[in-house]
Structure 1
Amino acid sequence: MCELRHPVLRLRQLLDAGWSMRRVQRALRTGELRRVRVGVFVPPDACADAVAIARHGGSMACVTAARHRGLRVLDEDDSPHVWMRPGGRSHDADCDCVEHWDAPGVGESRREPSLARVLRQVLLCRGVEAFFVALESARRQRMLDGDDMRWLAQNLNAAGREALGLSRDDADSGLESLLRWRLRGFGLTVRTQVRVAGAGVVDALIGDRVIVEVDGRENHDGASLRHKDLVRDANAALWGYVTLRFDYAMVLHDWDLVERAIFAALARA
């Protein structure tokens, strides 16, 4: 993924921004721009997804757009997702792009989907868990305003509205969001980013005594970090807490074991 906010550039956009055709040609010669098809360009540092979408036609959509905008995304599908407006057409039949054909609303940009629309695409394409994680990531980063939240409330299905109502702006990781979502129906008190005596701020506190720490996909098994975790767990135990630690793979792919471990700890606490 590249850091460019608008990696796909169309000739009309460049001309509207004050570029002349001579400047466009010069940029192509010097490598400042790269033509991917007629009238569509990308900067030289555009990511592979941006290049694929520029060739295909349309704009970044769904999990591709969410990831590109800095949201946490559970989905591991590497296929580029493309927003295709009514009247558009595919230009690259050989790519593995996933097309989204939802039409823009009144007053909405036709060049790229709004963040609220991206989140709705995630819900409809990848399901409510992926939506909830991306939604809480957007709220954590203060990327959604009141109008966005109202649009979502009016344009989501029942599962999406439930997720919207449960969502908060304090989740520090996608795994914390997923943990709260999957435990929502058990009547448990699940608090995230809680300061606990002896341990400092923990990922989640379930009930009064069970601490859950969830480690992301990044390497978290270095000796110094492992020692720090053990010290935190020991200090928490001195204060009567039980600490459970799960990694990304366990939460995503072995949830049954995670759930049983949590309830066993709650029964003993």
Structure 2
Amino acid sequence: MDPTQIAARADAAGGVIRTAALRSAGATARDIRRACESGAVTRLRGGVYTTPHAAAGVLTAAAHGGALCCASELARLGVWVLDSSRLHVAMGGGGHEYTHPECTCLPHWDDPPPGYGRVDVERALVQLARCQGPESFFAAFESAWRLGLLSRRARMSIRARLDARHRWLVDLARADADSGLESILRLRLLRLGIPLRCQVVIRGVGRVDFVLGERIILEVDGRDNHDDATHRHKDLVRDANAAALGYVTLRFDYALVMHDWPRVAAAILRARAVAR
């Protein structure tokens, strides 16, 4: 087996591969040595090889002894996650952790052993529910669905694998949430007994995030949107148009929803009471 073929095998495995997998595919010890000498693969440690195409997170997870998983893999896929500051590594039920420089990895010990590379999106979401709780899971689940990463079969598989107390979140989820922040706000209000209409088109205003009752618009401005002057002006124009039609617009940003929720809840509850 030539170096290019060995590198292709490793890339197909997510950028990290064991000697045993290469040998079972027909590579000899000499083939593997030649691949290392050519730079097609690099020896990470005894029995483990990587390619230049392997993602940084995958390499770090392999250095720790497992596969990229949970919030880290979801963030890599572009899924909205609440916190991916630490690298999440799937170790399986009996994996071995290895020391490596500047390690801040968060190991996951759920079975089955994943080997190296990355876990699939279904397992990553189930891990997230257990790791970061229902709000984080719900936001990521809706985001993954919107991105087209979850078939109906995948959604049902995730539901079956969740702890029983979290399964209702799959039933509640929608495919049209624009951001995880919207998902979290909707979930929190539902827990307060306040249902919302989502992604409502209002003539003269456009599509709004939520409508509460008949005349209250709720808009949620995410971490990366609506900060510049142009977006801010467009928001003000929309709010003015909505007011001219008899709507009241309540607008909340990431900091308010995530760090000052009592203020948000109080504003919504008061507006709801006044509107009745």
Q: TM > 0.5 between the two?
A: yes
Question: C-alpha separation between the residues in 1 aligned to 2:251 and 2:26?
Answer: 55
Root-mean-square deviation over aligned CA pairs: 2.8
The residue correspondences of 1:185-196 to structure 2 (distance < 5 A) are 185-196=191-202
Question: Equivalent residue for 2:169?
Answer: 163
Question: C-alpha separation between the residues in 2 aligned to 1:267 and 1:60?
Answer: 47
Once the two structures are overlaid, the 10-residue window that deviates more, 4-13 or 186-195, is 4-13
Q: 1:89 aligns with which of 96, 102, 105?
A: 96
Percent identity between matched residues is 45
Partner of 1:183: helix, strand, or coil?
A: helix
The answer (yes or no) to whether the contact 1:153–1:161 under 8 Å persists in 2 is: yes
Structure label with greater radius of gyration:
2
Question: C-alpha separation between the residues in 1 aligned to 2:194 and 2:183?
Answer: 15
Question: Equivalent residue for 2:144?
Answer: 138
- 1:221–1:87 CA distance, 2 compared to 1 (3 A): closer
- 1:238–1:100 CA distance, 2 compared to 1 (3 A): same
Partner of 2:96: helix, strand, or coil?
A: coil
- 1:6–1:131 CA distance, 2 compared to 1 (3 A): farther
Using the size of structure 2 for normalisation, the TM-score is 0.83
Question: C-alpha separation between the residues in 2 aligned to 1:216 and 1:30?
Answer: 47
1:79 aligns with 2:86: yes
Using the size of structure 1 for normalisation, the TM-score is 0.85
Residue identity matched to 2:217: I
- 1:243–1:91 CA distance, 2 compared to 1 (3 A): same
- 1:231–1:50 CA distance, 2 compared to 1 (3 A): same
- C-alpha deviation, 1:164, in angstroms: 1.3
Cα deviation digits, residues 10-40 of structure 1 (max 9, x gap): 1455667787767765665565544432343
Residue identity matched to 1:201: R
- 1:145–1:118 CA distance, 2 compared to 1 (3 A): same
The answer (yes or no) to whether the contact 2:242–2:249 under 8 Å persists in 1 is: yes
Question: Equivalent residue for 2:46?
Answer: 38
The residue correspondences of 1:1-269 to structure 2 (distance < 5 A) are 7-11=14-18, 28=36, 33-44=41-52, 46-76=54-84, 78-92=85-99, 95-104=103-112, 112-218=118-224, 220-269=226-275
Structure 2 unpaired stretches of 5+? 1-10
- C-alpha deviation, 1:92, in angstroms: 2.0
